[in-house]
Amino acid sequence: MKALRLREPGKPLVLEEVPVPAPGRGEVLVQVAGCGVCHTDIGFWRQGVPTRASLPLTLGHEISGVVAELGSDVTDPELLGRPVIVPAVIPCGECPLCSSGRGNVCPDQVMPGNDMDGGFAEYVRVPARGLCPVDEPGRYDLAELSVVADAVTTPYQAVARSGLREDDLAVVVGVGGVGTYSVQIASVLGARVVAIDVDPKKLKVAGKRGADLTLNASTTDFRTMKARIREAAGDWGIPPHGWKVFECSGTVAGQETAFGLMTPAGVLLLVGFTLEKGTFRLSNLMAMDATAQGSWGCLPELYPEALAMVTSDQVTLDGLIETHPLSSGPGVLESFADHRLDRRAILTPDASKDT
């Protein structure tokens, strides 16, 4: 089978012929329909973020496909031939953290494209636990639904954890791939949504996807932004406290903006990631009795809810994704890393008679 492999950080990924993996105990073999390209992949490839598995490694953790083979001890025969979404982070389901509802930071979790070969391939071997069946795909191809594995479910968990309710104020800092879905999810839940970014194109998209107010951080100073948000909140009948702020940019500047927008009794969810360090006055949390929390990935048990939002057209993928053949993967990742793609790329196996 064909697989796009990372052999050395900073060097282009290489499309290679490798054996089709055999599923082991508790595992399944998934014939990949599509695998989305994520900034995490760019981190592994170009930014020096180490993978937990040794190189060479097939990247890709945003996977949809069809279960092609069952390994030993997989007792559900209905899985065979079933279209599924593979969770980007797969917990063990048995440890104390899993039992307490924090399985997304399970010490024995596995992540395709990090702990094991991922989905930039024709087939991928993954644990059978946590798979999300796609019984009603709606109007989308299975390949297109691969973005649910991370770009949709990651903000879904963050919004769920924030306790966001109807008529709350949601502020999304950074409206790229993940941030735009955060805007949509918060809007679907009945919140008023403010979108902040430095890219006018992204802000225009967010405005069409549920943002009630868009602010360009590159042309508006922080004090003015905060004043405009307060004014808008007042017009919407929302008090100046209890705001839910979602940092999705993965930049220090975005984190500083999000931290500065915290309000008394407010909640800040850190969704984006950066290796850079910022300086923050943590005493603000104490003084405001506010909450700041990280949100890593998404619990597998939340996937059906997030998927249903997409397949019911509450959250739409239109205009946010584009598919490319796996053979063009090296160039696609280059374009994605250099910010030359306006949509999230999905790699799909090239049509072939054999693998």
pLDDT tens digits for 251-276? 999 999 999 999 999 999 999 988 88
For β-strands 192-197 and 123-127, DSSP reports them as unpaired
Q: What is the pLDDT of residue 275?
A: 82
Task: Give long-range contacts, CB 8 A cutoff, 24+ apart: 258-262.
Answer: 258/171, 258/173, 259/284, 259/292, 260/222, 260/226, 261/171, 261/173, 261/226, 261/229, 262/288, 262/290, 262/292
pTM of the model: 0.94
Quick check: 296 and 153 in contact, CB under 8 A? no
pLDDT band per the 50, 70, 90 thresholds, residue 355: very low
CATH hierarchy code of domain 2-150+298-348: 3.90.180.10
Q: What is the pLDDT of residue 354?
A: 47
> What single letter denotes the amino acid at residue 326?
L
Q: What is the pLDDT of residue 352?
A: 62
Indicate the average pLDDT of the chain: 95
How far is residue 239 CA from its own chain's centroid? 30
How far is residue 227 CA from its own chain's centroid? 30
Q: What is the pLDDT of residue 342?
A: 87
Q: What number is the average pLDDT over the span 340-350? A: 95
Q: What is the pLDDT of residue 272?
A: 93
Q: Which residue has the tokens 């979404």?
A: 85
pLDDT band per the 50, 70, 90 thresholds, residue 204: very high
The helix/strand/coil state of 212 is coil
Q: Check pLDDT > 60 for residue 353.
A: no
What tens digit of pLDDT does each residue of 132-145 get?
999 999 999 999 99
Q: What number is the average pLDDT over the span 273-292? A: 93
Q: How far apart are the first and last CA of the chain?
A: 4
How many Cβ atoms sit within 10 Å of the Cβ of residue 85? Answer: 30
Q: What is the pLDDT of residue 334?
A: 94
Q: What is the pLDDT of residue 75?
A: 87
Q: Check pLDDT > 90 for residue 237.
A: yes
What tens digit of pLDDT does each residue of 39-88 get?
899 999 998 889 999 999 999 999 999 999 999 999 899 999 999 999 99
Q: What number is the average pLDDT over the span 212-224? A: 97
Q: What is the pLDDT of residue 139?
A: 95
Q: What is the pLDDT of residue 83?
A: 98
The residues of the chain that CATH labels 3.90.180.10 are 2-150+298-348
Q: What number is the average pLDDT over the span 208-225? A: 97
> If you write DSSP's letter for every residue of 46-75 in order, what string do you get?
HS-PPPSSPSSEE---EEEEEEEEE-TT--
Q: Check pLDDT > 60 for residue 96.
A: yes
The residues of the chain that CATH labels 3.40.50.720 are 153-294
> If you write DSSP's letter for every residue of 92-137 in order, what string do you get?
-S-SHHHHTT-GGG-TT-B-BTTTB--SSBSEEEEESTT-EE-S--
CATH hierarchy code of domain 153-294: 3.40.50.720
